[in-house]
Amino acid sequence: DTGVSQNPRHKITKRGQNVTFRCDPISEHNRLYWYRQTLGQGPEFLTYFQNEAQLEKSRLLSDRFSAERPKGSFSTLEIQRTEQGDSAMYLCASSSTGYTEAFFGQGTRLTVV
């Protein structure tokens, strides 16, 4: 296991379409995070899983966004009815319990046209 893996790396979609991203965390990490980053900004928190439980979700996250981590391993982030404002880099990170660092994947860059 060499790190956090995200697929796809790039996604171009038409407005109104649904998209799904996948994140495979570091295998022994029980915590998984999704972040969104727009140009010139720092990553913005979207949601957090501990094992399979989604424990926290940003109030900024519209109901078009849903995330799952069915068996406490990989996670998916789905965006329904995409809008141009959803264009961003979507970052996944994982960490172990405690105040330890989170390791990030290379991100999925979404462009909505």
Partner 1 sequence: AQKITQTQPGMFVQEKEAVTLDCTYDTSDPSYGLFWYKQPSSGEMIFLIYQGSYDQQNATEGRYSLNFQKARKSANLVISASQLGDSAMYFCAMRDGNQFYFGTGTSLTVIP
What is the contact surface with partner 1 in residues (CB under 8 A)? 31, 33, 35, 40-45, 48, 50, 55-56, 89, 91, 93, 99-107, 109
Amino acid at 53: A
Structure token digits, residue 13: 């979609």
> 80 or 109: whose CB is closer to partner 1?
109
Nearer to partner 1, 7 or 80 (CB): 7
The nearest distance, CB 16 to partner 1, in angstroms, is 26
Residue (47 or 82) nearer to partner 1, CB: 47
53 versus 113: smaller Cβ distance to partner 1: 53
Nearest to 108 by CA among 84, 78, 85, 66: 78
Distance CA 112, CA 98 (A): 37
- Going from the C-alpha of 14 to that of each of 81, 85, 109, the distances in angstroms are 9, 12, 14
What is the C-alpha to C-alpha distance for residues 85 and 87, in angstroms, rounded to an integer? 5
Nearest approach, Cβ of residue 70 and partner 1 (Å): 20
Whole-number minimum distance, CB 27 to partner 1, in Å?
18
Q: How far is the CB of 20 from partner 1 (least distance, A)?
A: 20
**CA 5-8-13 angle, 5° bins:** 150
